[in-house]
Structure 1
Amino acid sequence: MTTEPTALTPTRALLDVLDLGPDATEPDTFTGTSLPQPSGRVFGGQVLAQALLAAGRTVPTTRLPHSLHGYFLRAGDVREPISFAVERLRDGRSFTARRTHALQGGAPILSMIASFQEEQPGLDYAEPMPDAPDPDDVVSADTHLAGIDHPVARFWSQESAFDVRHVEGAIYLGGSGEPTGQQMVWVRSRETLPDDQLLHRALLAFACDQVMLEPVLRRSGHSWATRGLSIASLDHAMWWHRDVRVDDWLLYTQTAPSAQGGRGLGAARVFTRDGTHVASIAQEGMVRVPD
């Protein structure tokens, strides 16, 4: 009797992609693969998370990332491996800086600088989390997209490693109410994850790329279904303020401060379910819609 191999869950598939292999011939160089995408292009959040993990492999485990700044330079091909070359910029008494280039075919698709810090005492305060309904009372993207036989709908509702719940209603299929640059989204991984703080911070970078530019669309009355929409991440800045677990519910409170020149800026603060401010994020993207 033969046993059919068990299919990978979306969470397991993501963890496998984030498990980078060291290059035996080049120091501080790692190789990764990509998750399948309906577009055939590498998901920006994936390569960002991989670049951060590659940098973290060259840093003492007592130092965790507190910030990153990255530029998406070219579209990546999900069929080709990605090489991650880490440059050691500085090793100070408290802080460590690394630059990671993600390369395909010898050309960079992402360039990122991340800073890591030893845990240290200091000032400790944060603005409170705004009022929001409990995630159990918010409809999941799985429900919004249920029964839609389309590769993109299946990807976000069945193949994503994260459960995404829009407080104001999702904008996958059309606009939701009056145009507004405000958005709140609950996000959590579908499965329990290893107790590895570097991994959780990298996964937060992965997950946020799914929603960072949505307030730009909301404010202009558009949605992911807008005919002729062309959208892509250009750059990404992120600050981790406190430890985070992406297998607990996280609330993204988002705004869209500006859009111009075919670009839009999205900003977010991330809170735990009990109101702890764990991260702040900003991302600018190319956002083009038909005239």
Structure 2
Amino acid sequence: MPSGRVFGGQVVAQCVVAATATVGPDRAPHSLHGYFLRPGDVDEPITLAVERIHDGRSFARRRVQAYQRGEPIFSAIASFQDHDPGMEHQMPMPEVPAPEEVASAEEELGGAFALLRHSPIEARHVHGGIYLEVPDARATQATWLRIRSRLDDDPALHRAALAYMSDFTIQEPTLRANGVSWRTKGLRSASLDHAIWWHRDARADEWLLYVAESPTSRGGRGMNTGRIYTRGGELVASVAQEIMARTPAFN
């Protein structure tokens, strides 16, 4: 990240990979709940520690922590489950333009696109991005996302990549609702916690629709929730995150 901080989604994904390595191949992650404790430094290595806290007949839980300089920067508990049959339903995907019909970040930013050129995620905001200004002040948004590079077919890799992507743009409904862009002078923001629930497998290198909303913001904090769909309309993950967001205009 330009700020020199480690992208939170990277740490979440690394924790998913580390925890997955301690369970059998017949169990997949279905949820992770964690807290960001300190900013990560891109120039420092990250050490991961996994604790086996429960192994049941159908579920397994792991506590996983990411460290830098001997101090935890992220702490989470991940839960894994066997592939069991059961009830099934989902909320339908909203009708939005296809990704080919939505402006890319490069088209939106023009010469300023260099800021995102090296991002592994390609993003297309259905309602316009808030990189430089807020074109539409609303508490909801929809964004097409995908990993730019083609990934191997391993489902575990795509679950980790989905966790990585889940921290991308999830903060924006809070900012958008308050008319705050990423370029707003004096903006200070940070993810406080992160939760993701995997519902179905999907390829992270194919277009996914990230539908997000912010039900409330107060006291320098904003709550955001999201749902991630395949292009075909399958709900593959749900996300929740609270952020710190402060600007001089609201202080």
The answer to whether the superposition gives a TM-score over 0.5 is yes
Cα distance, 1:290 vs structure 2:
1.0
Structure 2: tracts of 5 or more residues without a match: none
2:37 is equivalent to residue 78 of structure 1: no
Q: Which has the higher contact order (CA 8 A, sep 6+)?
A: 2
- Looking at CA atoms only, which structure, 1 or 2, has the larger radius of gyration? 1
State which of 87, 94, 97 in structure 2 corresponds to 1:130: 94
Cα distance, 1:154 vs structure 2:
2.2
Task: Give the structure 1 partner of residue 174 of structure 2.
Answer: 216
2:133 is equivalent to residue 198 of structure 1: no
Q: Identity across aligned pairs (percent)?
A: 54
Residues in 2 aligned to 1:112 and 1:77: alpha-carbon distance in whole angstroms: 19
Task: Give the structure 2 partner of residue 12 of structure 1.
Answer: none
Query: Could you tell me the TM-score, scaled by structure 2's length?
Result: 0.97
State which of 183, 186, 194 in structure 2 corresponds to 1:228: 186
Task: Give the structure 1 partner of residue 143 of structure 2.
Answer: 185
Q: Secondary structure at the match of 2:162?
A: helix
Query: Could you tell me the TM-score, scaled by structure 1's length?
Result: 0.84
Deviations 1:57-101 (A, max 9, x none): 111111110000010000111111111000001111111100101
**How do 1:100-119 and structure 2 match up within 5 A?**
100-119=64-83
Q: Secondary structure at the match of 2:49?
A: strand
Q: Which amino acid aligns with 1:183?
A: Q
Q: Which amino acid aligns with 1:195?
A: D
Q: Secondary structure at the match of 2:212?
A: strand
State which of 266, 273, 276 in structure 1 corresponds to 2:224: 266
Task: Give the structure 2 partner of residue 147 of structure 1.
Answer: 111
Residues in 1 aligned to 2:48 and 2:109: alpha-carbon distance in whole angstroms: 35
Task: Give the structure 2 partner of residue 13 of structure 1.
Answer: none
2:206 is equivalent to residue 242 of structure 1: no
Residues in 2 aligned to 1:119 and 1:221: alpha-carbon distance in whole angstroms: 43
State which of 140, 147, 166 in structure 1 corresponds to 2:125: 166
**How do 1:13-32 and structure 2 match up within 5 A?**
none
2:20 is equivalent to residue 62 of structure 1: no
Structure 1: tracts of 5 or more residues without a match: 1-36
Q: Secondary structure at the match of 2:158?
A: helix
Runs of 4+ in 1 over 2 A off after TM superposition: none
Q: Secondary structure at the match of 2:110?
A: coil
Q: How many residues align?
A: 249
Cα distance, 1:277 vs structure 2:
0.7
